[in-house]
Amino acid sequence: MEAPNIVKMSAEVPVEKYEKERLAFFYETMFKIRKFERTVEEKFLGGEIPGFVHLYIGEEAVATGVMANLTAKDYIESTHRGHGHTIAKGADLNRMMAEIYGKKTGYCQGKGGSMHIADFSVGMLGANGVVGGGYNLAAGAALAQKLQGKKDISVVFFGDGASNRGTFHEAANMASVWKLPLLFVCEMNEYASTTPYRTATAVADIAQRAYGYDMPGIIVDGNDVFSVYEGAKKLIEHIRAGNGPAFLECKTYRVKGHFVGDPEKYRTREEVQKNIDERDPIMFFEWKVTQAGVYGQEEMNAVQAKVDAMIASALKFAQESPEPAASELFTDLYV
Ligand SMILES: Cc1ncc(C[n+]2csc(CCOP(=O)(O)OP(=O)(O)O)c2C)c(N)n1
Ligand SMILES: [Mg+2]
């Protein structure tokens, strides 16, 4: 059954019509996330990084396309797979890398790690190790924005697995009743850790659930940054006009294990490789702009060189930073 206010959509604006700065933001942000995460993966496997990391590689177009519609005053709530959202929202790469390294110069003085990074100065309210823990925090932030009479909005990112939590339904209902300025962004990447999506989710398109809460929904190819950008744009216009929440479902794919070190026994290498070869969001962007002749190889090389230098310097900063002192173990902690 298809809900009438939920539509599938692809980018409608020809690539030639995009401003240069917009294309540069798309490429630089996606490349920054990819390079940052490749570095984290390599250093984690090399034993330099403690704790646990979940990678966003292959899903970069979602964070990038949504964030291109936001300002630093708009809020986001992220997930356990939060590096991409945090980078796209404009957080500091040095402090992020240092936090992942458990160093004193990190966002939580090295005591939070990958899943607790937040930067209120850019509207990034936090990653969240509790699956489905972000909805109500984002609804609260959106309520505050509404009560303060602001035009700013809140965005909550969540996975297909998280969409099955009761917290989604509670937040979606109240957000709709109170017409909160809240965008739900579902990252449908086919798996919730080891669970394939259709074995635990009743609907073919998660966006269908928006119908039950009287909000509009758009479904896009989450690996096409142009479609994500335009889908989010339409819904954000609706939200900023005071019409209440909306739902964006981005169909993507998690090409890396659930966490670094996951043996991935629940899927075949062929399936993963097919998605890497045929659906990579960065390769897709490069193909699209090259075809349209609007963003040249030289420009892409310059972005890559710039990003390489940024990541190298973030890595050096993290590696050379001190660890927090044992005497600070309980400072800033609620115990
Ligand atoms: C409340 C809660 N239940 C279970 C977990 C364990 N857990 C961590 S990630 C995850 C799967 C999440 O899947 P999805 O929402 O699809 O996000 P993805 O990992 O695919 O990005 C689970 C079950 C948790 N962190 N929190
Ligand atoms: Mg998932």
Closest CA to 299 of 39, 21, 15: 21
Expressed in angstroms and rounded, the spacing between residue 115 Cα and the centre of ligand 1 is 12
SS3 201: coil
Counted domains in the chain: 1
Closest approach atom of ligand 1 to CA 165: 1
For the four alpha carbons of 325, 331, 332 and 335, in that order, the dihedral sign comes to positive
Assess if residue 263 is contained within a domain: yes
Assess if residue 98 is contained within a domain: yes
Assess if residue 47 is contained within a domain: yes
Residues 6+ away with beta carbon under 8 Å from 307: 28, 31, 32, 35
Closest CA to 120 of 98, 103, 137, 133: 137
Average pLDDT over all residues of the chain: 96
Assess if residue 335 is contained within a domain: no
The answer to whether the CB of 262 is under 6 A from ligand 1 is no
Is residue 192 over pLDDT 80? Answer: yes
The answer to whether the CB of 254 is under 6 A from ligand 1 is yes
How large is the average pLDDT for residues 80-102? 98
Count CB-CB contacts under 10 A for residue 72: 14
d(CA 98, CA 59): 23
Give pLDDT, residue 1: 56
Give pLDDT, residue 249: 98
Residue 160 sits at φ, ψ, to 5 deg, of: -65, -40
Expressed in angstroms and rounded, the spacing between residue 62 Cα and the centre of ligand 1 is 18
Summarised one tens digit per residue, pLDDT across range 27-36 is 999 999 999 9
d(CA 303, CA 27): 8
Return the best residue to mutate from 131, 137, 165 for the ligand 1 pocket (most ligand atoms within 8 A of CB): 131
The enclosing domain of 131 has a CATH number of: 3.40.50.970
Instruction: Give the number of whichever ligand sits closest to the CA of residue 163.
Output: 1
Assess if residue 7 is contained within a domain: no
Summarised one tens digit per residue, pLDDT across range 246-283 is 999 999 999 999 999 999 999 999 999 999 999 999 99
The residue contributing the CA closest to ligand 1 atom 3 is: 131
The residue contributing the CA closest to ligand 1 atom 8 is: 131
How large is the average pLDDT for residues 115-129? 97
Expressed in angstroms and rounded, the spacing between residue 271 Cα and the centre of ligand 1 is 21
Q: Are 53 and 132 in contact (CB under 8 A)?
A: no
Summarised one tens digit per residue, pLDDT across range 38-67 is 999 999 999 999 999 999 999 999 999 999
d(CA 153, CA 65): 16
Assess if residue 29 is contained within a domain: yes
Q: Are 318 and 96 in contact (CB under 8 A)?
A: no
Assess if residue 114 is contained within a domain: yes
First vs last C-alpha separation in the chain = 49
Give pLDDT, residue 2: 66
Q: Are strands 182-188 and 191-192 parallel, antiparallel or unpaired?
A: unpaired
d(CA 156, CA 212): 18
Helices (H), the chain: 20-45, 60-67, 83-88, 93-100, 134-147, 166-177, 225-238, 269-279, 281-292, 297-320
pLDDT class of 333 with cuts at 50, 70, 90: confident
pLDDT class of 245 with cuts at 50, 70, 90: very high
Expressed in angstroms and rounded, the spacing between residue 263 Cα and the centre of ligand 2 is 17
Give pLDDT, residue 146: 98
Measured between alpha carbons, how far is residue 39 from residues 44, 53, 128, 316 in Å?
8, 12, 22, 12
Closest approach atom of ligand 1 to CA 133: 1
% of the chain with per-residue pLDDT over 90: 96
Residue type, 96: M
Assess if residue 1 is contained within a domain: no
**Locate tokens 């990112």: which residue?**
157
d(CA 280, CA 10): 17
Is residue 335 over pLDDT 80? Answer: no
The answer to whether the CB of 192 is under 6 A from ligand 1 is yes
Domain extent for 266: 14-320
% of the chain with per-residue pLDDT over 70: 99
Closest approach atom of ligand 1 to CA 80: 9
The answer to whether the CB of 128 is under 6 A from ligand 1 is no
Expressed in angstroms and rounded, the spacing between residue 267 Cα and the centre of ligand 2 is 14
The answer to whether the CB of 80 is under 6 A from ligand 1 is yes
